[in-house]
Amino acid sequence: MVLAKSKNAVGLGNSLMNDRFGKGKGADRKKVTTAGIHRINHATGETYVTNERKEASWVKMRSVTEQAALDEFLSTAELAGTDFTAEKMNNVKIIHTDQKNPYLLSAAEERAAVGKQKAHRDRLTVPRRPHWDSTTTADQLDRMERDSLLEWRRGLAELQENNDLLMTPFERNLEVWRQLWRVIERSDLVVQIVDARNPLLFRSEDLERYVKDVDKRKENLLLVNKADMLTLEQRQSWAVYFEEAGISYKFFSASLAKELNEAREESEDDEPDVPGSSASKLADITQKLTINDNERGGKVPGEKQEDEDEDEDEDGEKEAEDEKTRILTVDELEALFLLHAPDNIDSDPENPRKTQIGLVGYPNVGKSSTINALIGAKKVSVSSTPGKTKHFQTIHLSDKVLLCDCPGLVFPNFATTKAELVCNGILPIDQLREFTGPAGLVAKRIPQKFLEAMYGMKIQTRPLEEGGTGVPTAEEILTAYAKARGFTRTGQGQPDESRAARYVLKDYVNGKLLFCQPPPGDIDPLEFNRELYDEGHLPEKRRLALTDMESLSDAPISVADLDFIRLPEGSKTKKLDGAFFGPGQGSRGHLKMPFNHKYTEQGTASGKQLSGRKQKTMLALEKDMDPNDVKMLTTYYSAAPDANGVFPATSNFWNQEVSADNAGDPGDFLTQPGRQVGSYILSIRNAANPTNVNDPGELNFAWGNETWDSTNTDDCSVVPVGPSGGAGATTYTCVFQCDVDVGQ
Ligand SMILES: Nc1nc2c(ncn2[C@@H]2O[C@H](COP(=O)(O)OP(=O)(O)OP(=O)(O)O)[C@@H](O)[C@H]2O)c(=O)[nH]1
């Protein structure tokens, strides 16, 4: 019989080994090779080699069958009798472990990940609405839809787990999918709006298949919005890709369309041809929407030059090319809607119905902005907070076109890293705990000089001789930014990199730090974006600023002095910044909702109360938080809500908890001075509202002078988790991220 080997085996051999090499805990761990001893410093993760003064004979005798490159080099040198000590000092380049960001992939790892993704691409489906007919009851259909969604979720979970694939935080809420199903069923043309900076990440191929499955006569269109962020060459590259892939696409810019609308309105009363007038502004925007002057070789659209006959053919070709890269105006887009729509499916010829256009896409790709541009007036609210549009709305664009705006939803798609998702605005910045990954992407993508000019700072990088790579690390950028802005950590005076990361990443997501993904193929991403940061491409002032950066000292300079931000900060950006970061200490703007705020249908459907730990894990995962980062708080609330389900604001459990100061109570973290940042799941057991299980009504809660309102999605997300605790009590779970400055 073979005896099980004890981990704490004793014996002469073991005690000799332990005696010689220690047990490894605390001390640097050693690995013996023929050339010496490799030690791993666990504090830094670095490996280094020491030559033992006197080696035990068994080391020399040890059979070596496989060697790592370094071992091989050292043992070869030893075999050759070479003294490499001097060489080691002069030629060996030490790459510090902190130069490689562990949250990002190397080029080889990325290639491997993309290869794996390709192999499973056809499994990225959107859930189908189960088939039903006039005999199906509402209950049956409801059951079938739930089962179908569950099946779909299982499939994706299995795909993810078995193949170790990272996916977008795709929509899991049945109610949202129902909205999409309805929009598809009634639309003649389904327009998928995507962000021009990375169109394929935001595109669901299967959605297009589903549209055709529902009815072959329905059409698809990929609307590449935010095309103002692409250069002409970038649009050309994408146009080639879309054409080859047989994708029906058009470039659009809701921002330019809005500007055009405004300039048009203003120019009605203005003098034409006066520089700076609305009319000349209008001409500028029109020019941007077509092809810019330089790119056309100084030729204005429609203008004819000499040798007209000879040039006519060429012009025809050029126009066809231009057509592929044109950014549409709203009028053209509306005309296109009518052109694309099949002749009124199921319409009564006597009384034709309007052509229905479904608008779908991820949150923040610009659906509301596109609709606003189309209707030319602010009727749909626009926000930078993901998930603002909750239910699909219909908008009568004209007597021929009806728009159906679907809530923004994340489709299942593959991603290489979480950092990539953050940089694409799919994972929220305000919930970030690990920021070096996304900031590392910014460091890799945006040229150092541009960052320095943009923020008026000097980034100190590790010199090449000391193991630097020539590209700043995330930490180097964030430290420089924090120093330039005077962001320090409370109490320590160290640069607050986490705060710096939020600002830098937000600028990246908003496109102030611009980087556009090239189409698949072998285009070098840095080359693809070179023109954006090319000096010749920049306005003169920005060029000067870039030159100035060469001689810039460490001293922070005011960004206001440097007018080279690609997208100027308008009042809206300022407003968004205010809402995002809060105007001051302790403002309600500090409390942020999780990204995919939803009433989880799944949680209520099961009606099953999970245990604390499981509930925390489930909710954290639902909200794309790391369960380890989330703190659980529990409180009891016995005041009755009013007739509208609103709890009285006077019952202030934060204050109660703070003043009572019982260790471990929910409010305890707020008694600590300084900035308190954390993700919290707060269970509120309400004994007074036993019946209203699925609708928590409005939960108002407060801390100090701050009040937060659960129905305000900017504040928090409330998930009723069903009856629990004592007889008839209901527990509401409120998931939120808190970032408050408690003061000293
Ligand atoms: N540069 C640029 N920015 C745009 C454009 N369209 C929208 N944006 C910006 O993108 C952000 C999101 O726009 P929204 O229109 O709110 O996006 P949405 O898709 O309706 O978002 P949900 O309502 O959450 O689904 C806003 O900050 C807009 O200003 C565009 O064409 N160009």
* 192 and 337 both lie in a single domain: yes
Sorting pLDDT into bands at 50, 70 and 90, what band is 47? low
Tell me how far the alpha carbon of residue 328 lies from the centroid of ligand 1, in angstroms: 17
Instruction: Report the CATH number at residue 397.
Output: 3.40.50.300
Q: State the burial class of residue 283 (Cβ atoms within 10 Å of its Cβ: 0-12, 13-18, 19+).
A: middle
596 close to ligand 1 (CB < 6 Angstrom): no
Q: The tokens 């700043």 sit on which residue?
A: 472
Q: Is residue 734 part of a domain?
A: yes
713 close to ligand 1 (CB < 6 Angstrom): no
Q: What is the pLDDT of residue 313?
A: 67
104 close to ligand 1 (CB < 6 Angstrom): no
Tell me how far the alpha carbon of residue 367 lies from the centroid of ligand 1, in angstroms: 6
Q: What is the pLDDT of residue 185?
A: 93
* 549 and 615 both lie in a single domain: no
CA distance readout (Å), 735 to 37, 415, 431, 627, 683: 50, 25, 12, 12, 9
Ligand 1 atom at shortest distance from the alpha carbon of 389: 23
225 close to ligand 1 (CB < 6 Angstrom): yes
Tally of residues, the chain: 744
The encoded tokens of residue 451 equal 């960052």
pLDDT digits (tens, 9 = 90+) for 649-671: 333 333 333 333 344 444 444 44
Q: What is the pLDDT of residue 22?
A: 46
Residue of minimum CA distance from atom 8 in ligand 1: 366
- Better pLDDT: 321 or 460: 460
Q: Which secondary-structure segment (H or E) carries 741?
A: strand 730-741
Tell me how far the alpha carbon of residue 150 lies from the centroid of ligand 1, in angstroms: 31
* 327 and 225 both lie in a single domain: yes
Sorting pLDDT into bands at 50, 70 and 90, what band is 446? very high
- Better pLDDT: 60 or 242: 242
Q: What is the pLDDT of residue 76?
A: 45
Asked if the model's pLDDT at residue 242 lies above 70, the reply is: yes
End residue of a domain, out of 92, 110, 134: 92
Mutate to test the pocket of ligand 1, among 197, 253, 329, 369 (most ligand atoms within 8 A of CB): 369
Q: What is the pLDDT of residue 432?
A: 80
CA distance 695 to 510: 35
Per the prediction, the chain carries an average pLDDT of 67
Q: Is residue 138 part of a domain?
A: no
Pairing of strands 29-33, 36-41: antiparallel
pLDDT digits (tens, 9 = 90+) for 141-177: 999 999 999 999 999 988 888 888 888 989 988 988 9
* 492 and 394 both lie in a single domain: no
Q: What is the pLDDT of residue 312?
A: 66
Q: Which residues pair with 634 in a beta bridge?
A: 683
pLDDT digits (tens, 9 = 90+) for 527-570: 999 888 876 544 454 444 444 444 433 332 222 323 222 333 34
Q: What is the pLDDT of residue 99?
A: 57
620 close to ligand 1 (CB < 6 Angstrom): no
What proportion of the chain, given as a percentage, has pLDDT over 70? 48
Tell me how far the alpha carbon of residue 254 lies from the centroid of ligand 1, in angstroms: 8
- Top mean pLDDT of 445-454, 465-474, 688-697 is at 445-454
Sorting pLDDT into bands at 50, 70 and 90, what band is 319? confident
- Strand order across the 36-41 sheet: 29-33, 36-41, 46-50
Q: What is the pLDDT of residue 430?
A: 81
- Better pLDDT: 645 or 659: 645
Asked if the model's pLDDT at residue 526 lies above 50, the reply is: yes
ipTM strictly over 0.90?
A: yes
End residue of a domain, out of 559, 581, 603: 581
End residue of a domain, out of 557, 581, 605: 581
Sorting pLDDT into bands at 50, 70 and 90, what band is 269? low
Ligand 1 atom at shortest distance from the alpha carbon of 387: 24
Q: What is the pLDDT of residue 395?
A: 85
- Better pLDDT: 296 or 223: 223
328 close to ligand 1 (CB < 6 Angstrom): no
- Better pLDDT: 493 or 664: 493
* 520 and 606 both lie in a single domain: no
pLDDT digits (tens, 9 = 90+) for 296-315: 333 333 344 455 566 666 66
pLDDT digits (tens, 9 = 90+) for 371-391: 889 987 544 444 333 444 446
Q: Is the Cβ–Cβ distance between 726 and 585 less than 8 Å?
A: no
* 603 and 704 both lie in a single domain: yes
Structural domain total, the chain: 4
- Better pLDDT: 593 or 440: 440
Q: Is residue 100 part of a domain?
A: no
Mean pLDDT on 629-638: 53
Mean pLDDT on 24-47: 46
- Better pLDDT: 322 or 267: 322
229 close to ligand 1 (CB < 6 Angstrom): yes
- Strand order across the 630-637 sheet: 630-637, 675-686, 730-741, 717-723
Q: What is the pLDDT of residue 322?
A: 79
409 close to ligand 1 (CB < 6 Angstrom): no
364 close to ligand 1 (CB < 6 Angstrom): yes
254 close to ligand 1 (CB < 6 Angstrom): yes
Residue of minimum CA distance from atom 13 in ligand 1: 366
Q: Is residue 104 part of a domain?
A: no
Sorting pLDDT into bands at 50, 70 and 90, what band is 421? very high
Number of neighbouring beta carbons within 10 Å of residue 311: 14
Q: What is the pLDDT of residue 454?
A: 83
Q: Is the Cβ–Cβ distance between 52 and 95 less than 8 Å?
A: no
Q: Is residue 145 part of a domain?
A: no
* 466 and 344 both lie in a single domain: no
* 432 and 574 both lie in a single domain: yes
Mean pLDDT on 167-190: 91
Mean pLDDT on 253-260: 90
- Better pLDDT: 117 or 55: 117
* 459 and 538 both lie in a single domain: yes
Residue of minimum CA distance from atom 32 in ligand 1: 226
Tell me how far the alpha carbon of residue 373 lies from the centroid of ligand 1, in angstroms: 11
* 400 and 452 both lie in a single domain: no
Q: Is residue 200 part of a domain?
A: yes
* 389 and 492 both lie in a single domain: no
Range of the domain at 43: 12-92
Return the minimum-mean-pLDDT range out of 218-222, 468-472, 605-609, 683-687: 605-609
What proportion of the chain, given as a percentage, has pLDDT over 90? 24
Q: Is residue 88 part of a domain?
A: yes
- Better pLDDT: 459 or 40: 459
* 388 and 507 both lie in a single domain: no
Helix axes of 254-267 and 278-289: crossing angle, nearest 10 degrees? 150
- Better pLDDT: 674 or 214: 214
Q: What is the pLDDT of residue 656?
A: 34
Q: What is the pLDDT of residue 345?
A: 55
| Phi-psi domain of 301 (left: phi exceeds 0; alpha: psi -120 through 50; beta: other) | beta
Q: What is the pLDDT of residue 475?
A: 92
Tell me how far the alpha carbon of residue 424 lies from the centroid of ligand 1, in angstroms: 13
Q: Is residue 148 part of a domain?
A: no
